[in-house]
Structure 1
Amino acid sequence: MAKGCRAGELLLRALREESSRLPPDSKTEAEEVLNRGPGAVVSFRVLRDLHDALRKRGSHQYLHELLEGSDIHLPAVEIPQRNPELVARLEKIKAKLANEEYKQMTKNINCQESQHGTLAELSRQVRPVKAMVVTVFNFFVTVAAAFACTYIGSQYIFTETASRVLSAVIVASLVGLAELYVLVRTMEGVLGEL
């Protein structure tokens, strides 16, 4: 946390002019800062006292104007050394956790299955494709059967071939739409399993 700022020229000039009006503690610190020159660290307490002295005197110079050319002083953070026993204990815990994670990942792997499991894996992968092919084939067979049945059955109602074909196309289209709905739902389910 910042405790002061590095003095710039404007701040040093203001400290020279107002050092006699500062409280005793701030006055001694201001004299030390003036002896060190530019870049010396001025505490915020001295800055507050300087600002109060300027306001009492009726100066129109604001604090931010005084700090122009100055930098905030951030003291170096001291990182404590770690306890070697603690570091060794943490390393043991990390190794133990890594070993448990490895065992968790490899618990369902069996070396004997990996040599003979290729056909079983292939069967699992082919099963959804087979279901999709059968569903598409079923769609075409159903539409063709609906057309044929309607065409043959409509000979008792219509005598003209055009009327029979038109009624067969209408019925086959309706059955095709219904089958298409079932086909899409089936494929959606099969693709959801992958």
Structure 2
Amino acid sequence: MASSFVIGTKFRERLNDLLGQSNLAVPPELREELRNIVEKEEPSTLTFRTARTIHKCLQENGHPVFLHDLLEDSILFLPQVEMPPRNPELVARLEKIKAKLANEEYNRITRNVNAQEINRHGTLADFGREVRSAKAVVVTVFNFLVTVAATFACSYMGSQYLFTETAARVIAAVIAASVVGLAELYVLVRTMEGELGEP
């Protein structure tokens, strides 16, 4: 907190002029203090208490120079705040807490990163999973084709007892194979939905 002024050159000159005047009644203590301030090397400071005393003295003597005119080129003296030294135990604890928070943040960010997925070629387990998936698809398609072909063959052979013409037998076999194929597709879709966890 400011408690004094750093006086400027104008203040020194005007104060010298005032102290040189014989008609100015300045108390000896104030005169001695002001003389010490003026003779002191720059930067010299003037306390607020001394500034108020000068102001009072100028008012009592009816002097035309006001205090703000004297302090025109002076600035407030703001002492530098000295920070107390930090407690080493507190600093060590803060460093531990910072390191812990940084580690938790890193773990949160990298939680879903899998080092095996970073490999471009994948792992042997990924290759095996892909082979099993492809094998299941091939078996399903083969099963579908065999079922439809067997239904067509059975319907064609069995319809000879109902129809004598070949066209009617083929149409009946195609209708039966289509119905069985659609039923097979429906069952396949429902099974795949169940595997994916959809309702």
TM-score, length-normalised on structure 2? 0.47
Greater fraction helix: 1
